[in-house]
Amino acid sequence: MAKEVRTTSRKLKLRLQKEAGGKCANPGCSTWRVQIHHIKQWAVYKADNAEDMIAICPTCHDACHRGTLRITDEELYRWKNIPRKGPPNTAQLFVEAAETPKRVRVFMGPLGVQVARNRAIVFRHLRGSSFSFEKLFGDTLQISSRLEDLAGREVLQVSNNVVRAAADPDVRFEHPRAGHIRITVPANGNYMPDWQIQQIRAQVPNFAIDGRLVALEVNVLRPGELMAEGFWRAGKGAVIFTKDAIHLCSNEASLQPLTIMPDPGNIHPMAVEFPEEANVDELGIFEELMLKPLGMC
């Protein structure tokens, strides 16, 4: 005997996804992958009525049907009636607790940074560029960051793993999956001087080949560990972190940037560990190690 098959039109799915703000309709959930749930059970009513349907993530969908903290129909209708402007430009980054405090670290290009203290300022410059992280409870990684464009307008801000991109059509916010966030901007003089882009392309021809610069990309690797890419301004120069290298652009007259890459024979990243008494509060780690000697701060 043939089974009755239920299908929801693509047009209706898109309408419900837009209604939910391009993510799970649960205001306490940042998941972008959603399913369509019939608040009034389809098995009973056999109807696709938009007023009784909602876009929620698989976890919340499961909690509507089972579990000790079930989501009620009243909650679903309350979520459905929340006015939303559009796809969010904010996400919460979750990093699973590390096995030991020493496994709390951030990889930036070929460099791995960890500290004995609870907080490390990796990079901080007075003109709107910063990146820092801290250990919460000794085993949980939280990051903070900030970036402005060359006119001093905020591009992005991260505070204790809450990532927010500017509501600007130039700023593209991508959250393809849990634990991975990417923010890009046009590769033009509003965000990075052309001479810096050309210097890096002299070494890496495909740098920003798609016309976009990675302002910040964070990807959780293991419990307590994440990889960070992006660029931060330092005076008239800039520090650019990619997966494979660190580029320091400090002199417009130079043909190429100063580039730090790992030894090809060493598969492990370079490690920097700062003891408890390390004084990196006034200037960040990069200012102390690299930028100050180069006259970039």
What distance in Å separates the CA atoms of residue 171 and residue 152, rounded to the nearest whole number?
15
Mean pLDDT of the chain: 82
Q: Does residue 66 or residue 220 have the better pLDDT?
A: 220
The residues near 4 (Cβ < 8 Å, ≥ 6 apart) are 46
Q: Please check the confidence at residue 278 and state whether its pLDDT lies above 70.
A: no
Structure tokens at 212: 């976009």
The residues near 43 (Cβ < 8 Å, ≥ 6 apart) are none
What distance in Å separates the CA atoms of residue 97 and residue 103, rounded to the nearest whole number?
9
Q: Give yes or no for a contact between 149 and 185, defined as CB atoms under 8 angstroms apart.
A: yes
The residues near 10 (Cβ < 8 Å, ≥ 6 apart) are none
What distance in Å separates the CA atoms of residue 218 and residue 237, rounded to the nearest whole number?
23
Task: Give 5-33 pLDDT, tens digit per residue.
Answer: 457 788 999 999 999 998 999 999 888 88
What distance in Å separates the CA atoms of residue 72 and residue 270, rounded to the nearest whole number?
51
Task: Give 169-228 pLDDT, tens digit per residue.
Answer: 999 999 878 899 999 999 999 999 999 999 999 989 999 999 999 999 999 999 999 999
pLDDT band, very low/low/confident/very high, at 252 (cuts 50, 70, 90)? confident
pLDDT band, very low/low/confident/very high, at 264 (cuts 50, 70, 90)? low
Q: State mean pLDDT over 134-149.
A: 90
Neighbours of 272 (CB within 10 A): 17
Q: What pLDDT score does 69 carry?
A: 84
What distance in Å separates the CA atoms of residue 208 and residue 205, rounded to the nearest whole number?
9
DSSP secondary structure letters along 132-184: EEEEETTTEEEEEEEEE-TTS-EEEEEETTEEEE-S-TT-EEEEEETTEEEEE
